Amino acid sequence: MGADAVAARAALVREIEASGAFAADPRWREAFTAVPRHLFVPYYYVATVAGYERRWGENPDPVARERWLRGAYEDTPLATRLRDGELVSSSSQPSLMALMLAELRVEDGHRVLEIGAGTGYNAALLAHRLGDDRVTTVDLDPEITESARRHLDAAGYHPVVVTGDGARGVPERAPFDRVIATCQLGAVPRAWIAQCRPGARVLVPLATGLIALTVRDAGHAEGTFLATAAYFVPLRGQGRTDPGPVALGGVPRPARDDDLFRFLVTLTRGALEPPEAYALWRREGMPGRSRYGITVEGDRAWAWLDDPAGPYAWPLPEGRP
């Protein structure tokens, strides 16, 4: 399996590179080349018409084992944990992971907090780049953190894995230079900003997009959305149950007009009625995600179009999702 895994991993890296995901920081190519994804997904579930098919690396059938290995290195999200038929954990689409890591803009010596341990694969990529002691990953579910530790140990990485409420951050490991979340949020928790150094970058999925905030101080952060769409399992493993990439941590088909309109509706939920949102969206030239931003200031947070002090601004929920 060793040679097959190396070849499959090299093919995945070429596919990620062709997608442009490494463009913001090509140094992540080496991490994806080195870290063996299959060790982080010893089994996973594939949606079928009858439910889910479990694929696992210890299957006595060599054909089934080959199918498992091939699937582990496809550029697709993988369902890794189900509970009562509901998806609670996944391994995100590698090209989306690469894009997010590149957009995190880490530098040597940075300390990173990851919200949502998942399989441990993302933490391993961070640890490969920065060193074990620079990476902290947190998840509420002790089963998830325990399996992440096992996977990380098998791959030879030992970042700090914490079982706890990710919305509270990990204050004992602060301050952080970067925060990255691999779960969908309804708001940006103030605890994350408070645990960051000035100038830190916070990259999180929100409203079917990815917001990149720059922290000014413990009570203030501001930034704009990336152009790409992104869909993840919600924080604390609750929410959507469908088996598609929307739930698993992936990128859908290229953005269509209706997708961009739905982004505005989701972002401004409760502040704009859909007809009002549609009229604004058409009037402003059907703006894409990158024209929107978020400001967090003390106990206030708001989303905006084009300018945080402009005419289009909408209040966001309090900082706890």
Active site residues: 89
CA atoms within 13 Å, Cβ hemisphere of 230: 32
d(CA 203, CA 230): 12
Q: Following DSSP, what letter does each residue of 184-247 receive, concatenated?
A: BBSS--HHHHHTEEEEEEEEEEETTEEEEEEEEETTEEEEEE-SS--B-PBGGG-S----SHHH
Token output for 310: 């402009």
Q: Is the dihedral of CA 82, 85, 88, 89 positive or negative?
A: positive
Question: Edge to edge, what strands does the sheet with 209-217 contain?
Answer: 160-163, 135-139, 112-115, 176-181, 196-206, 209-217, 220-225, 292-297, 300-305, 313-315
Length of the chain: 321
Residue 221 phi, psi dihedral angles, 5° rounding: -150, 150
Cβ count within 10 A of residue 312: 17
CB contact at 8 A, 95 and 128: no
Q: What is the dihedral of CA 139, 45, 207, 186, to 10 degrees?
A: -30
Residue corresponding to tokens 């409203």: 207
